[in-house]
Structure 1
């Protein structure tokens, strides 16, 4: 099995050195770029498994770089940025980033997010219609949901909402992304309907809806289905 390759796009040399140390200690191959232009040159020749992208590059705004990368690549993009405003995070995710970490962050959290991104970029070959997280299972062929092996009834919209999360485990989904997928693009701003739908779904799948363990709220951004980190 080949070593996973991570492209670090960061203009701060000290941060690049730190990230290289952390990644190579975990047996990742680390490619580095201090400019957006350099990153695009590397991507024209290499196919890393994950891109770690700082938004504050000196030659091109990271948001524009996300758009350029997404024009011809679906490589997972994990934004690492000092910009901590919810609007910035949501904008990066809507443009095609897969995850967002605000500086400063721990090496442990970074590595966990990278592992999640790699799992999603290399799905299992024998695709199954069943998805499972903890004791919650969704079967797309049967159009059924099971909790602790007992079938639970969901409305069509609740099923579509849960399916959206199971198709993107571990990924932060903005409210706009979810609404467009569940309701349609014409309802893109109807966050109240999403909150109501989410509350109904949580009452059916969460042991304690007030303290969810399956679908977590990313305050100011959206929601995320846990992936490999469930503590029941």
Structure 2
């Protein structure tokens, strides 16, 4: 985590986004803003926020559904926001993997205190950033560094996001739809050519032969798998 923690705010209310943007930046946070679930998931996948503030009532999907998708591949702390104050809503959010829950309207100082608590827990080891290393390749997702044979590898944002997601699920197949949804957004789940281009460039930079893959294996018609060394 950097000296200026990155907060992703996913909320469709412009007034709330502005309120949080001003308040968080005043406290030294870096702020990412999303107006719906698809934007939020894309930013979470590509910008690695340290904590997420997620509204339940979003225009394209329920915040609970966004949380469920996040929890498929990351344990980033999530603070849920909602005008719904019923106990079952809070229980549903917490059972779904949220770390905390606040009801609108809320005070900025209380929200700041809760975010500080979530970030302290993360620094204390609630989530260890994955790291992969073998004789040739080193991927440190905490430092966002990829080195091949001791030399830093220059990757685009999308190339890094795809590689990072595969490494987080090392040894398991990640579907094309999941990669497209999390990295490009929900409106691009059929745009498989995006993935083919990015995977082709990744393999080229890694020197990985698709016919005899060392790290990046294609599962035809399904998705891709990162192969950790045995």
Range of TM-score over shorter length: 0.5 to 0.7
TM-score, reference length from structure 1: 0.53
CA positional deviation for 1:124: 6.1
2:92 counterpart residue number: 91
CA spacing shift, 1:124–1:96, aligned 2, 3 Å: closer
Aligned residues: 125
Specify every segment of 5 or more residues in structure 2 that has no aligned partner in the other structure, as ranges: 127-230
CA positional deviation for 1:80: 1.1
1:62 counterpart residue number: 63
1:111 counterpart residue number: 112
- 2:79 is the alignment partner of 1:78: yes
1:29 counterpart residue number: 30
CA distance in 2, matches of 1:6, 1:44: 13
CA distance in 2, matches of 1:11, 1:124: 32
1:6 counterpart residue number: 7
Q: Any idea what the Cα deviations from partners look like across 1:28-69, whole Å, max 9, x if unmatched?
A: 000000010001111121111110000000001111111000
Higher relative contact order, structure no. (Cα contacts within 8 Å, ≥ 6 residues apart):
2
CA RMSD across the alignment: 1.3
Task: For residue 59 of structure 1, give the secondary structure of its aligned residue in structure 2.
Answer: coil
TM-score, reference length from structure 2: 0.53
CA distance in 1, matches of 2:123, 2:6: 13
Specify every segment of 5 or more residues in structure 1 that has no aligned partner in the other structure, as ranges: 126-232
2:102 counterpart residue number: 101
Task: For residue 47 of structure 2, give the secondary structure of its aligned residue in structure 1.
Answer: coil
* TM superposition outliers: structure 1 runs of 4+ over 4 Å: none
CA positional deviation for 1:13: 0.7
